[in-house]
Structure 1
């Protein structure tokens, strides 16, 4: 029991002094609507600090005075750091909006008129420039089949076949 308690305290102590940097990107193809739906979960403080540094501005991402401006920052950032290629063709993602859920920002993007892909390539280097230990989880769902992978900085590319 003492060893277990010691390990628990050590884990808690290390977590407090060495934060965990991770994002989750979920990509789903809706065959009926011919849509690609993308959601990206990033810790709010990490995204806010990255956007503040990149755009040399100040704002509160959870309670912005100008939500449209913050949406513009997020959309521009994601367009630079998240890209999807289906069957060798780049798919332009359109930013829909974002919501705050607990300590994270969920950003939503979509692409319309997208046929069922056989190969999905995802480039994701979100937050790599600020966090050398950043990990980006990728989940892709096509035709009911789900595939997942993990990208550890500096690896930024994943390819999945369906």
Structure 2
């Protein structure tokens, strides 16, 4: 199955599940790295089903988790920041890079997490190590997109695999 067909099938399945208000049968997250040539930054977004994400955060950090409550936003930012730092690592041009946590938002049944990497002057290669929700599901799939200009490289990573690397 081509990547486009796979992504379309995933999105269609997710939409049907959300529209029918049922638990989603797939355990999947997406992570996108987008190189901003003008600003010399890598903009990162992760999209995770909120119910799964809240479950793993509660399990790992042994505290009440509610990503939709504005009064808990600061506390939720802290646990999300810790979780993502432990489960998403990126190397650019062969070197580990430090990600700045920007924040999160709830979008229907998913949580979007935003991060940024500054001062990447010449983005030639990337390696993503992604274990988001691997500590909850043994059938987890991570879809990773890396975008530089008009070039988009994508891969699906199936548990227990955890890495995707590419060159530009």
Task: Please classify the TM superposition score into its range, dividing by the shorter chain length.
Answer: 0.7 to 0.9
Contact 1:64 1:70 in 2 (8 A): no
In the alignment, the residues of structure 2 paired with residue 129 and residue 31 of structure 1 have an alpha-carbon distance, to the nearest angstrom, of 35
Please report the TM-score for the alignment, with normalisation by the length of structure 2.
0.84
Alignment-derived partner of residue 145 in structure 2: 139
Structure 1 runs of 4+ aligned residues shifted over 3 Å read none
Please list the CA deviations of residues 92-150 of structure 1 after superposition, one character each: whole Å capped at 9, or x if unmatched: 00100000000000000001111232111000010001100100000000132100000
In the alignment, the residues of structure 2 paired with residue 67 and residue 17 of structure 1 have an alpha-carbon distance, to the nearest angstrom, of 25
Deviation at 1:64, TM superposition (A): 4.8
Alignment-derived partner of residue 125 in structure 2: 119
In the alignment, the residues of structure 2 paired with residue 17 and residue 156 of structure 1 have an alpha-carbon distance, to the nearest angstrom, of 25
In the alignment, the residues of structure 2 paired with residue 131 and residue 19 of structure 1 have an alpha-carbon distance, to the nearest angstrom, of 12
Please report the TM-score for the alignment, with normalisation by the length of structure 1.
0.87
Alignment-derived partner of residue 31 in structure 1: 37
Alignment-derived partner of residue 57 in structure 2: 51
Structure 2: gaps spanning 5 or more residues: 1-16
Alignment-derived partner of residue 159 in structure 1: 165
Aligned residue for 1:127, secondary structure, equals coil
Structure 1: gaps spanning 5 or more residues: 1-11
Alignment-derived partner of residue 110 in structure 2: 104
In the alignment, the residues of structure 2 paired with residue 28 and residue 148 of structure 1 have an alpha-carbon distance, to the nearest angstrom, of 12
- Larger Rg over CA atoms: 1
Please list the CA deviations of residues 68-105 of structure 1 after superposition, one character each: whole Å capped at 9, or x if unmatched: 11011001100000011011111100100000000000
In the alignment, the residues of structure 2 paired with residue 103 and residue 134 of structure 1 have an alpha-carbon distance, to the nearest angstrom, of 17
In the alignment, the residues of structure 2 paired with residue 17 and residue 45 of structure 1 have an alpha-carbon distance, to the nearest angstrom, of 9
Alignment-derived partner of residue 4 in structure 1: none
The partner residue of 1:41 within 38, 47, 50 is 47
In the alignment, the residues of structure 2 paired with residue 90 and residue 47 of structure 1 have an alpha-carbon distance, to the nearest angstrom, of 25
